[in-house]
Amino acid sequence: MVNTTENSKIFHIAQKKRNGERITALTAYDFPQAQLVDKAGVDIILVGDSLGNVVLGRNDTLEVTLDEMEHHLRAVCRAQPEALVVADLPNHSYRTLNQAMESAQRLVGSGAEAVKLEGGTAIADIISSIVGSGIPVMGHAGLLPQTAHLEGGYRIRGKQPEEAEQIRMDVRAIEESGAFAVVLELVEKNLARDLSKQTSIPTIGIGSGTECDGQILVLHDLLGLAPGPFPRHANPPVHYFLEMQKTIEQWSDSVRNQSATR
């Protein structure tokens, strides 16, 4: 298991589970977003490879590079957030143990306080080695965005017994490998509830019901910072993209309607 006493932020996250307190996590991809999320008191900032979708305009996360992750991570860290900063290891950056170690070290060198990678039993040795090197790891089970296109796309995972058992095995492997927390993405809500009770590390849910130890969302989904549509688990209370569009339109109209002066 990871030694939480060596990292006060990791210890704080672990303590929240023990105390029955919910954990909040949001993505951020640049300096002002990190300031916004941190000043709101969120526990964890994830510099996610979702930046491929919401920042770079790609259809998925698959082509996000380690260089791009480092670029956005450094911008987030310039805000000097009090929240724990976790960075995703992007697709194809941890195919081998040596590559995974090098990639994790690069992210830590760019300011990450922990790294996140997708998978369970298949990468248990990689998680264990990264943790053993002194880098905290957050796991990710259930739907794995980097391989979802190979496994039936975006759908709830764990409805079928065989799939549910694989998710249980993955979460167990993640825990036993020393990760300090695990994201459960689009996991069937009763399975996510049971896993949250059974595992000693915090579960951070996204689209997995309300009974995980915490919740994470993409910032753009929470705030409606895109034209939409948004995931069903997000449902932004205010569509700020439209509000900002109106402000820009009003400003543009005011400029166009000004009388020319010589």
Domain count, the chain: 1
For residue 242, being part of any structural domain is answered with: no
Is 165 noted as a catalytic residue in this protein? no
Catalytic hit among 70, 175, 185, 188 = 185
For residue 260, being part of any structural domain is answered with: no
For residue 241, being part of any structural domain is answered with: no
Looking at the whole model, is its pTM more than 0.85? Answer: yes
Alpha helices in 55-202 (DSSP H): 66-77, 97-109, 124-132, 161-176, 189-198
For residue 194, being part of any structural domain is answered with: yes
* pLDDT tens digit sequence for 15-54: 999 999 999 999 999 999 999 999 999 999 999 999 999 9
- Give the domain extent around 171: 4-223
User: What is residue 228's predicted lDDT score, i.e. its pLDDT?
Assistant: 87
User: Per the structure block, which two tokens stand in for 177?
Assistant: 């490998």
CA 219, 223, 227, 232 torsion: positive or negative? positive
Percent of residues in the chain assigned helix, strand, coil, to nearest 5: 45, 15, 40
For residue 72, being part of any structural domain is answered with: yes
For residue 244, being part of any structural domain is answered with: no
For residue 188, being part of any structural domain is answered with: yes
* pLDDT tens digit sequence for 76-131: 999 999 999 999 999 999 999 999 999 999 999 999 999 999 999 999 999 999 99
For residue 254, being part of any structural domain is answered with: no
CATH value at residue 132: 3.20.20.60
